[in-house]
Amino acid sequence: MRRLTTVLVSACAAALFAVMTVILGSPAAAATLVEVTSFGSNPGNMRMHVYVPDSHPASPAIVVAMHGCGGSGPGFYQSSEFASLADRYGFIVIYPTATQSAGFGNCFDTWSDAAKQRGGGSDPVSIVSMIDYVERTYQGDPNRVYATGSSSGGMMTQHMLAVYPDVFKAGASFMGVPFTCFAGASDYPPGSSRCTGGSMDRTPQQWGDAVRQAYPGYSGPRPRMQLWHGTSDTLVPYSLLRESIEQWTNVFGLSQTPTSTDTPQANWNRSRYANPSGTVQVEAYSIQGAGHALPQSGMALYAIEFFGLTTSPTDTTPPTTPGTPVASNVTAASATLTWTASTDQGGSGLAGYNVYREQGATDPQLGQSTTTSITLTGLSANTQYQVYVRARDGAGNLSGNSAPATFTTAATGGDTTPPTAPAGLTASGTTATGTSLTWTASADDTGVTGYDILRAPGATGGTFTQVGTSATTSFTDTGLTANTTYRYQVRARDAAGNVSPVSSTVQITTQGGTTGACSATPTVQSQWGNGYVIQPLTITNTSTSTITSWTVTFTLPAGHTLTGSWNATISTSGQTVTVRSVSHNGTLAPGASTASFGFQASRPNGNTALPSGYTCA
């Protein structure tokens, strides 16, 4: 059964607690995270970001990836591996940002009555609107929609699969709780929560009935569930993993005894619960010694494998044949070809084009392109070439041959005229670590093929070295040092390899980085016998100039151990903790504050001391 196209809009509710995010490294890809400001019904007042990889099938799968309390969609994009996996396997990732609060800020609503019923309102309706938007805008596959998340996002994963079983195919919940574990907003903060207080215990039948009551009358297939939890998690107790297993095995009518157990990696204990045909419906991972700090490196891949997204559907249908290529900018050693695009027909997505030379029994391949043009280099002078193009899809199928194009390269030395020097070089948007350059295009008798960007240190002296290239009249240089002077020049190249004179020089000085003054003020969110959460640790710029990053140090009492953190990069040396800002919370105007950082620590029973000696620079 497919979901309703119109859902009820209800009042927004409150939130959940802080998640400790493990920094795994930003995805490196040409695609970028894009915010969508109008995606449909949004009773949860949420923000939506979407990541669409450059290469994907015509109807890609959709993964909803949800952050923990105090986090954001862009923050989870930066700190998890789902976007880099999307680049590899061609699925789209939705990153929602929760805005509700029930003791902690920016938490997904898994406590309100509105959120516990299909179409009832609040965050679940907003998330389904995001999925509908991706299906409409990017032709996302409605039969391959998945949910995952960490802490509050892991709780929302189990929540969404209960409320919208017809929307999702499977879910992977990191450090979550069973559906309806929270009685209401007042039961949410960990210091007073019955759900996360360590004593929650219901029968499998009670847990399963809660899921069935979320969508009364639903008789279709249920989404498969993968569960992850650390054995040393004290914020969301490890005992809740057993309660989640009981809930979802009961939903599927499975035994509480796993059908198989194994250790896929060191300290990872996996239990699987399969139906009589051998299909694993529920899968649970106990991570030995881990606190509230999942997913760790490599775990996202196991989630994507559980979803079935690491293998492409069988596709044996080739793309349509490309249009006849047209040759231009022909020199003694190169030529540019352009053609009309092909269309993928088998669902694995158009991957690019191969260019061949007609040359007897075996036609050699001259190059590949992911666009509808290519510049062939290394050609022989004064030689006739007859070339054609074939499209290829993600499954490796090749289209038919295009009609051929014929051209003859120029005699050796045919083009010895360099392009004119680029003009009007300017720099703008200079920060502590980067600057953006623009200039006016050069002119050339056979066409400019690109530009070299040159940089020298200091206001005088220093040698200009090439730091990048651009096919357009702009370039952004990054990785610069704060409060440092640099000079730039640009030169043009043509297809024959001729290089223009350099442009005029532009000089920039990067911003001052972290030279301003700041303060750090801790707030104790909750305490219990052997641990505590400090949320937020408020950072305030006390200087008269903008700072672009900050570093806080503090000392843990003897015997205390940091077990998790979020929205910052953490390092420890003995009992000294060093906290460094991340990209989305480092820049503060004079007098401005950020309250996005927090951490959890464990302590020996009876030791009620708290961290001290907070300094900020």
- Please, which residues bridge with residue 465 across strands? 455
Residue in 18, 2, 16, 108 with CA at minimum distance from that of residue 568 = 18
Say if residue 25's pLDDT is above 60: no
C-beta separation of 435 from 428 below 8 A = yes
pLDDT band at 229 (very low <50, low <70, confident <90, very high): very high
Residue in 403, 421, 408 with CA at minimum distance from that of residue 335 = 408
Q: pLDDT, tens digit, for every residue of 429-453? A: 887 778 899 999 999 887 888 899 9
CATH classification number, 326-409, choose in 2.60.40.10, 3.90.78.10, 2.30.30.40, 3.40.1390.30: 2.60.40.10
Say if residue 558's pLDDT is above 50: yes
> What pLDDT, on the 0 to 100 scale, is given for residue 382?
85
Residue 15, SS3? Answer: coil
Say if residue 123's pLDDT is above 90: yes
Residue in 569, 536, 550, 557 with CA at minimum distance from that of residue 603 = 557
Q: pLDDT, tens digit, for every residue of 161-199? A: 999 999 999 999 999 999 999 989 888 887 788 999 888
Every domain of the chain and the residues it spans: 33-307, 326-409, 423-509, 518-616
Most confident of 42-56, 343-357, 469-483: 42-56
**Domain covering 518-616, topology:** Immunoglobulin-like (2.60.40)
> What pLDDT, on the 0 to 100 scale, is given for residue 81?
93
> What pLDDT, on the 0 to 100 scale, is given for residue 468?
86
Joined together, the tokens standing for residue 3 give 């979901």
CA 159, 162, 163, 167: dihedral to nearest 10 degrees? 110
Say if residue 27's pLDDT is above 90: no
Total residue length of the chain:
617
In 10 A of CB 365, how many CB atoms? 10
- Please, which residues bridge with residue 580 across strands? 551, 569
- Helices 204-214 & 152-163, crossing angle to 10 degrees? 70
The pTM score is 0.53
C-beta separation of 398 from 354 below 8 A = yes
Out of 311-320, 395-404, 442-451, 598-607, least confident range: 311-320
Cα separation of 276 and 89, whole Å?
30
> What pLDDT, on the 0 to 100 scale, is given for residue 348?
66
C-beta separation of 91 from 309 below 8 A = yes
pLDDT band at 17 (very low <50, low <70, confident <90, very high): very low
The DSSP line for 439-472 is EEPP--SS-EEEEEEEEEESSS----EEEEEESS
pLDDT band at 28 (very low <50, low <70, confident <90, very high): very low
Cβ-Cβ contacts under 8 Å for 122 (sequence gap 6 or more): 10, 11, 12, 13, 43, 44, 100, 109, 112, 114, 115
> What pLDDT, on the 0 to 100 scale, is given for residue 30?
56
The predicted model gives 283-288 an average pLDDT of: 95
Say if residue 567's pLDDT is above 80: no
The predicted model gives 333-360 an average pLDDT of: 85
C-beta separation of 222 from 282 below 8 A = no
* CA dist 396 → 88, 390, 391 (Å): 15, 12, 10
pLDDT band at 312 (very low <50, low <70, confident <90, very high): low
Q: Which of 122, 151, 286, 503 is catalytic?
A: 151
Kindly provide the residue ranges of all beta strands, DSSP E only, lying in 458-585, ordered along the sequence.
465-470, 474-478, 485-494, 506-509, 518-528, 531-541, 551-555, 561-566, 569-573, 576-580
The predicted model gives 257-282 an average pLDDT of: 92
CATH top class, domain 33-307: alpha beta
> What pLDDT, on the 0 to 100 scale, is given for residue 263?
92
pLDDT band at 18 (very low <50, low <70, confident <90, very high): very low
C-beta separation of 383 from 407 below 8 A = no
CATH top class, domain 423-509: mainly beta
Establish whether domains 326-409 and 423-509 are of one fold. yes
* CA dist 275 → 86, 285, 373, 590 (Å): 29, 18, 51, 60
Cα separation of 191 and 573, whole Å?
29
DSSP, res 266: T
pLDDT band at 512 (very low <50, low <70, confident <90, very high): low
* CA dist 353 → 321, 398, 402 (Å): 10, 9, 11
C-beta separation of 148 from 157 below 8 A = yes
Most confident of 10-19, 281-290, 451-460: 281-290
> What pLDDT, on the 0 to 100 scale, is given for residue 15?
32
Higher-scoring residue by pLDDT: 345, 37:
37
Residue 300, SS3? Answer: helix
Cα separation of 340 and 394, whole Å?
19
Residue 248, SS3? Answer: helix
DSSP, res 246: H
> What pLDDT, on the 0 to 100 scale, is given for residue 313?
54
The per-residue pLDDT of the chain, averaged, comes to 85
Q: Is 151 a catalytic residue?
A: yes
Cα separation of 615 and 617, whole Å?
7
